[in-house]
Amino acid sequence: MFVLKGILRAETQEKILIYLLLKGSGYGKSIAEFYDIPQNPVQKQLARLEQDGVIVSELIGKVRSYQLNPRYPFLQPLKDLLKAAAEAYPPTVINALLVQRTRPRQAGKPLVSAGRTAKPKK
């Protein structure tokens, strides 16, 4: 779903910006996995958005984490536009973005993610 066609360069940019707006921060692999798209276009668009000053990143260990740039001059209008675009997305996508895990998983509990079940290691 590409709601902001004509405003943004690519559908991937829209997905990245909505992800960062609703989640607060994220990294390339998690964004690609969430939308089930290849990681390479996500990384390219993250680099382009960072170069344009729309997002900023920081290195946390070996992982580069991205978030919306709080110093971007048009941050509030961008957020308003993204919120309006997010309303066109299916509620299941928005709810999945808003759910944030705040505590560690119980030891031995199976991982259930996007229809996949991982068996606990013995």
**Domains of the chain: which residue ranges?**
11-100
Domain 11-100 CATH (choose: 1.10.10.10, 3.40.50.2300, 1.20.1250.20, 1.10.357.10): 1.10.10.10
pLDDT of residue 103: 66
Query: Which residue in the block uniquely carries the two structure tokens 């048009």?
Result: 74
Name the more confident of 1 and 103.
103
Element (H, E) at 116: strand 116-118
**CA 47 → CA 13, 18, 40, 43, distances in Å?**
11, 16, 11, 6
User: Is-contact 56 20, C-beta < 8 A?
Assistant: no
Inform me whether the pLDDT recorded for 45 exceeds 90.
yes
pLDDT in tens, 66-111: 999 999 998 999 999 999 988 888 888 888 888 766 666 677 777 6
pTM summary value: 0.75
